[in-house]
Amino acid sequence: MKINFKNNFIASVIISYLLFVQISLHGQQKNQTSYSNNLAKNAMSVSTESKIEALIKTLTLKEKVALCHAQSKFSTKGVERLGIPEIWMSDGPHGVRAEINWDNWKYAGWTNDSITAFPALTCLAASFNPELSSQYGFSLGEEARYRKKDVLLGPGVNIYRTPLNGRNFEYMGEDPFLASTLVVPYIKGVQKNGVAACVKHYVLNNQEHWRSKINVEVGDRALYEIYLPAFKASVKEAGVWAIMGAYNKFRGKYTTHNPILHKILKSDWKYDGVVISDWSSAHSTEESALYGLDLEMGTGTDGLGTSTNDFYSQYYLAAPFLKGLKNGDFPESLVDDKVRRILRLMFRTNMSANRPLGNANTKAHHDVARRVATDGIVLLKNEKNFFPIKDDKNVTIAVIGENATRSMTAGGGSSELKAKFEISPLEGIKARYKNATITHAMGYQTGPSRYNQVIPPTLDLDSLKTEAIKTARNADIVLFIGGLNKSHLQDCEGDDRLQFGLPFGQVDLLNDIYKVNKNIGFILVTGNAVEMPWLDKVNALVETWYLGSMSGHAIADVISGDVNPSGKLPFSFPVKLEDNAAHFFGTSSYPGENMTQYYKEDILVGYRWHDTKKIKPLYAFGYGLSYTSFTISDIKTDKKTYTTEDSITVSCRLNNTGLLDGSEVVQVYVGKQKSKVKRALKELKGFQKVSVNSGKQYSVDINIPVKSLSFYDEAISDWNLEKGDYIVYVGNASNNISKKTKITIN
């Protein structure tokens, strides 16, 4: 038998390295320590990249191909011969999903996989708080590590284009700068645990309706200026270790293995991580091989529905790929590049010698979940000093609505969670208000959350309504806790909402309650904007998002005044659906015709549309009230004229002119005057959330690189910084600008 010394030498280096990993992990006796230290010195001097190259030389073609696709619903094969471990993945963006069976979509029924449910990402976006995002990512990463997951399938950063999209609650709103600024600390936080974040869904997955077939047509400008930035920040600033392709097509080819998106990601951005498919988003061996798919998951299933047993050997990147490599259709360098990335993911996660061990369901995590929740809740209306509500023994508070008690961590699709606990709004209110009398009526009922099917309610709706009206009549204060929920055709993966208004007869119920009690505060539990023809019937309105395990405590913190609300809307609330850009252009724009849709609004998404077309929104991007009041004064820029390499320093003084301590988000938008191309009136280019005590003031400096004012010039397929005059807008909402300042770029 011919001995191949080269390979054996390499194999011995690897074995000794893996032995080092083994030893250092298990912490052997004293004498072993000196041994492993010496080995450690040797092993650490051999860089990860050279270990990867050595491994690639040692792997057989069959082993290489086996690394590129699933072996089960949420895991991929390792290489037992060399001690290379499996990779284990789990959803989702706001918590680690319960264990799922090896080969089907049912839950495994474990008793040790309950976790902390963190607030949905719209709430994190609404906090405008990068420091909190870092704590969020780190805590979530600890729980993923504790559950022995090497890849966490989140965060989601698809841009909010239509208020009907079933998955907007999982994402970070309509503005690419806000999403980019908040996704970076989240990813870094997760990855500090030796767990890969997997930013998703790359790209243009902005609706759930027809998600697995729809072909998106959009120009380069909108692609680069609106839909790619959060992914680019994930790669270039956060160093994300995994990215998930999307279901939809872009310009006729599936996004998961798309030549244009592959070039942008791996050539232009020099992404060195792994591209993982969405579950069943791969559709071709050749395109997967050539256009950048590294790890194929979920093929043969419809994503979350039926599954096909032992389909794994038939995956596009399984037997057909191996065959293509063997008969020369594909050069071996193609599979080597995929394996290189997968091994790099392993050395960063399950082959890293010094990963922390993680933990779950700790007070620290509950505190983070509560802080993100209270920091993201948005106070939209507060008349007659409705909020905060005192805990007064002479007062009766009627809590009405199904969302006062309905679980919002169950349902919603792949982001659903088995929370160790979930404090409902009613529980939180009862826990906080010890003196006031709290009464409750469900008022309306919807069916349980089921994926891809609507289950009808079981109770008699008329008696629910009668009961609610009676409860309201006999109360001093009515808290109507309604909105949407995580069931099919609501805020749920797999499809979109069919209506912009509130479902389940809530509006009729509210109107009937109004007839017997006009002192109503609406607590809106949604992940999306809704139509509000009833707004004049409520004295107050709070958008509370889906807040996870600590929902009830966080809501009680804010409505009682224990916490002064400081959240700002991460997306616009149009008055009516047609005021939204995606719906302005009819069905060819949303949901599409003949399986193709045209993003005709181009770059004018969200407030960019409302500002530029002068269509006043009901509530604007960046808007949110406080129990105290702020003014922004002494607004100035450090210079009047800048060059390309400069950074603009916008400074101002934030004054808390009210009676309560609180936080405010100073927002800086910039617009180009007399541009040679179509541009939005103004775009968010900087923000800072600041806590200021009552009567105090705080000086704020926000730096904006001049280059960030460039537009993507389709004529040169590159970014282009226009010279000339720009307007700098400073305020605390996109529709509440304190001052405009002109600057010039030379």
- The yes or no reply on residue 276 touching ligand GLC (CB under 6 A) is no
**C-beta of 190 vs 379, nearer to ligand GLC:** 190
| Four-point Cα dihedral 229, 231, 236, 242, nearest 10 | 180
Taking the complex as a whole, how short is the minimal distance between the CB of residue 6 and ligand GLC, in angstroms? Answer: 41
Taking the complex as a whole, how short is the minimal distance between the CB of residue 278 and ligand GLC, in angstroms? Answer: 5
- The yes or no reply on residue 626 touching ligand GLC (CB under 6 A) is no
351 phi and psi angles, rounded to 5 deg: -115, 20
How many Å apart are CA 524 and CA 485, to the nearest integer? 11
Residue type, 190: V
Beta bridge partner(s), residue 120: none
Q: Which residues touch 343 (CB under 8 Å, ≥6 apart)?
A: 52, 55, 56, 67, 84, 351
Taking the complex as a whole, how short is the minimal distance between the CB of residue 325 and ligand GLC, in angstroms? Answer: 27
Please choose, from the candidates 54, 52, 23, 26, the residue with its C-alpha nearest in 3D space to the C-alpha of residue 40. Answer: 23
Contact (CB, 8 A) for 522 and 541: yes
Residue type, 20: F
User: Which helix (H) or strand (E) element contains residue 188?
Assistant: helix 176-191
Per CB under 6 A, which of residues 694..733 are in contact with ligand GLC? none
Residues 278, 491, 579, 664: which binds ligand GLC (CB under 6 A)? 278
**C-beta of 136 vs 279, nearer to ligand GLC:** 279
Residues 269-283, buried b or exposed e (16+ Cβ, 10 A)?
A: eebebbbbbbbbbbb
Taking the complex as a whole, how short is the minimal distance between the CB of residue 147 and ligand GLC, in angstroms? Answer: 15
Structure tokens at 478: 């009515």
Structure tokens at 723: 């010279």
Q: Which residues touch 263 (CB under 8 Å, ≥6 apart)?
A: none
**C-beta of 444 vs 546, nearer to ligand GLC:** 546
Task: Fill in the per-residue mask, 73 to 112: x = in contact with ligand GLC (CB under 6 A), - = not in contact.
Answer: ------------------x---------------------
Number of residues that bind ligand GLC (CB under 6 A): 8
**C-beta of 71 vs 414, nearer to ligand GLC:** 414
**C-beta of 160 vs 279, nearer to ligand GLC:** 279
How many Cβ atoms sit within 10 Å of the Cβ of residue 63? Answer: 18
**C-beta of 278 vs 683, nearer to ligand GLC:** 278
Structure tokens at 364: 């620290």
How many Å apart are CA 202 and CA 261, to the nearest integer? 8
Taking the complex as a whole, how short is the minimal distance between the CB of residue 153 and ligand GLC, in angstroms? Answer: 4
- Catalytic residue check, 557: no
3-state secondary structure of 411: coil
Taking the complex as a whole, how short is the minimal distance between the CB of residue 104 and ligand GLC, in angstroms? Answer: 13
**C-beta of 303 vs 662, nearer to ligand GLC:** 303
Structure tokens at 581: 């850009």
How many Å apart are CA 185 and CA 465, to the nearest integer? 45
**C-beta of 374 vs 414, nearer to ligand GLC:** 414
Residues 200, 370, 486, 553: which binds ligand GLC (CB under 6 A)? 200
Task: Fill in the per-residue mask, 296 to 315: x = in contact with ligand GLC (CB under 6 A), - = not in contact.
Answer: -------xx-----------
Taking the complex as a whole, how short is the minimal distance between the CB of residue 515 and ligand GLC, in angstroms? Answer: 44
- The yes or no reply on residue 402 touching ligand GLC (CB under 6 A) is no
Per-residue DSSP letters for 135-193? HHHHHHHHHHHHTT-SEE---B------TT-TTGGGS--S-HHHHHHHHHHHHHHHHTT
Q: Which residues touch 335 (CB under 8 Å, ≥6 apart)?
A: 61, 64, 65, 68, 289, 321, 325
Task: Exactly one of 91, 113, 150, 278 is catalytic; name it.
Answer: 278
Please choose, from the candidates 479, 480, 521, the residue with its C-alpha nearest in 3D space to the C-alpha of residue 379. Answer: 521
Structure tokens at 427: 């529980």
Taking the complex as a whole, how short is the minimal distance between the CB of residue 169 and ligand GLC, in angstroms? Answer: 13
Task: Fill in the per-residue mask, 126 to 155: x = in contact with ligand GLC (CB under 6 A), - = not in contact.
Answer: ---------------------------x--
Residues 12-46, buried b or exposed e (16+ Cβ, 10 A)?
A: ebbeebbebbebbeeeeeeeeeeebeebbeebeee
Structure tokens at 28: 């052997």
Taking the complex as a whole, how short is the minimal distance between the CB of residue 447 and ligand GLC, in angstroms? Answer: 22
Taking the complex as a whole, how short is the minimal distance between the CB of residue 279 and ligand GLC, in angstroms? Answer: 4
597 phi and psi angles, rounded to 5 deg: -130, 150
Q: How far is CA 514 from the centre of its chain?
A: 36
- The yes or no reply on residue 279 touching ligand GLC (CB under 6 A) is yes
Taking the complex as a whole, how short is the minimal distance between the CB of residue 98 and ligand GLC, in angstroms? Answer: 12
**C-beta of 143 vs 278, nearer to ligand GLC:** 278
- The yes or no reply on residue 414 touching ligand GLC (CB under 6 A) is yes
Angle at 354 between CA 352 and CA 358, to 5 degrees: 100
Please choose, from the candidates 352, 225, 307, 290, the residue with its C-alpha nearest in 3D space to the C-alpha of residue 680. Answer: 225
How many Å apart are CA 722 and CA 676, to the nearest integer? 8
How many Cβ atoms sit within 10 Å of the Cβ of residue 438? Answer: 18
3-state secondary structure of 633: strand
Please choose, from the candidates 305, 302, 203, 218, the residue with its C-alpha nearest in 3D space to the C-alpha of residue 248. Answer: 203
Interface positions with ligand GLC (CB under 6 A): 91, 153, 200, 278-279, 303-304, 414
Q: Which residues are catalytic?
A: 278
